[in-house]
């Protein structure tokens, strides 16, 4: 693997534990103004300090994230179908690699739709995107999308989709957690991270999902709604992160969440330090110190 590609991947999947916490806020590309993501800037800013990377479209990146904030960006570059269209699998690459480089993307993400009507197009898009990514040292995240067919989420189907993504050269795969998830991970030669999926009934359910996925070998999460649709999103991302990077058990993570949710909301938001000229300090220069 080329140095640049390896280096970019290490900004997403940390080399010290081979895990990562990606915050997913790309939902608007097919869902429009998703609940609690209506004003992306407001949703994203308080969570940025706790995410290892941020997955989103170039539109939300440019309008709603401060360019001075040094977070690795996983840029969604596929799209073309909305939730009200007939077939969600009808996606193509919509963002050029030039523009991805212009916004300093650390990785590129696209959806593949194995078994769906546009399977062929989405897999060819993956192959082409890997070709471009390899040329510039940018890793590719393949998302094994199921469209509206949520019942497809079992180890047989997801294992097939993840393996195909890796065979096409994806450097990282995102899929759903399912029973026997270790089979999905074991048959995929690149790191697998999980999506959270639609908001679960309780935060405890989402913490269990995270824990079970990590135990089964997931390299982390690319989680959205189960974090920012929580009434306590900062507490939630911190608890998820503690499971991923500190191996907290579900009960410990729940206790952490319950403690953190009581803290005042004035948490450190993603406000980068203002870029000002460095102040000149009087240095003890060798000239001053040396005899006249």
222 binds ligand 5RP (CB under 6 A): yes
Nearer to ligand 5RP, 75 or 216 (CB): 75
Q: Which of residues 186-215 bind ligand 5RP (CB under 6 A)?
A: 195-197
Among 46, 191, 224, 233, binds ligand 5RP (CB under 6 A): 224
Give least dist CB 181 to ligand 5RP, A: 16
Pairing state between β 220-223 and 192-195: parallel
Alpha carbon 259 to its chain's center = 26
Give least dist CB 280 to ligand 5RP, A: 46
Q: 3-class DSSP state for residue 38?
A: coil
Nearer to ligand 5RP, 37 or 277 (CB): 37
26 binds ligand 5RP (CB under 6 A): yes
Q: Which residues are catalytic?
A: 174
Nearer to ligand 5RP, 137 or 208 (CB): 208
Given the rule CB under 6 A, which of 129-137, 151-159, 222-230, 284-292 is the region that contacts ligand 5RP? Answer: 222-230
Tracing tokens 């509206």 back to the chain, one arrives at: 148
55 binds ligand 5RP (CB under 6 A): yes
Give least dist CB 29 to ligand 5RP, A: 8
Other beta carbons within 10 Å of 259: 12
125 binds ligand 5RP (CB under 6 A): no
Give least dist CB 223 to ligand 5RP, A: 4
Pairwise CA distance, residues 171 & 137, whole Å = 11
111 binds ligand 5RP (CB under 6 A): yes
Pairwise CA distance, residues 120 & 141, whole Å = 18
The string of DSSP letters for 178-240 reads: -TTHHHHHHT-SS-EEEE--SPPSSHHHHHHHHHHHHHTT--EEEE-HHHHTSS-HHHHHHHH
Burial of 224 (0-12, 13-18, 19+ CB in 10 A): buried
59 binds ligand 5RP (CB under 6 A): no
Structural contact between residues 125 and 93, judged by C-beta atoms closer than 8 angstroms: yes
Give least dist CB 236 to ligand 5RP, A: 12
Q: 3-class DSSP state for residue 274?
A: coil
Residues near 99 by beta carbon (within 8 Å), at least 6 away in sequence? 58
146 binds ligand 5RP (CB under 6 A): no
Nearer to ligand 5RP, 59 or 137 (CB): 59
Q: Which of residues 233-292 bind ligand 5RP (CB under 6 A)?
A: none
Pairwise CA distance, residues 168 & 271, whole Å = 39
Nearer to ligand 5RP, 191 or 196 (CB): 196
223 binds ligand 5RP (CB under 6 A): yes
Query: Could you tell me the end-to-end alpha-carbon distance of the chain, in angstroms, rounded to an integer?
Result: 57
52 binds ligand 5RP (CB under 6 A): no
Specify whether the backbone of 181 is left (phi greater than 0), alpha (psi in -120 to 50) or beta: alpha
Binding residues for ligand 5RP, rule: CB under 6 A, are: 24, 26-27, 55, 111, 143, 145, 195-197, 222-226
């Amino acid at each position: 693997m080329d140095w640049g590609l390896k280096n970019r991947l290490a900004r997403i999947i940390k080399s010290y534990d081979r895990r990562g916490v990606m915050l997913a806020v790309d939902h608007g590309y097919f869902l429009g103004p998703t609940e609690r993501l209506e004003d992306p800037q407001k949703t994203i800013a308080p969570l940025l300090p706790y995410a290892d990377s941020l997955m989103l479209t170039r539109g939300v990146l440019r309008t709603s994230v401060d360019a001075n904030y040094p977070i690795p960006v996983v840029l969604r570059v596929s799209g073309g179908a909305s939730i009200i269209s007939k077939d969600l699998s009808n996606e193509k690459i919509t963002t050029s690699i030039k523009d991805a480089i212009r916004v300093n993307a650390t990785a590129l993400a696209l959806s593949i739709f194995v078994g769906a009507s546009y399977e062929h197009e989405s897999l060819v898009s993956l192959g082409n995107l890997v070709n471009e990514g390899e040329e510039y040292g940018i890793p590719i995240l393949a998302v094994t999308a199921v469209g509206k067919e949520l019942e497809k989420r079992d180890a047989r189907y997801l294992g097939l989709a993840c393996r195909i993504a890796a065979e096409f050269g994806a450097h990282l795969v995102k899929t759903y957690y399912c029973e026997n998830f270790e089979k999905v991970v074991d048959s995929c030669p690149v790191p697998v991270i999980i999506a959270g999926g639609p908001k679960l009934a309780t935060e405890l359910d989402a913490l269990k999902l995270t824990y079970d996925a990590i135990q089964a070998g997931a390299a982390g999460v690319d989680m959205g709604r189960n974090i920012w649709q929580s009434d306590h999103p900062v507490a939630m991302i911190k608890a998820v992160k503690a499971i991923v990077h500190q191996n907290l058990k579900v009960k410990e993570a729940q206790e952490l969440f319950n403690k953190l949710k009581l803290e005042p909301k004035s948490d450190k938001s993603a406000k980068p330090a203002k870029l000002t000229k460095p102040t000149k300090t009087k240095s003890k220069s060798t000239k001053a110190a040396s005899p006249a």
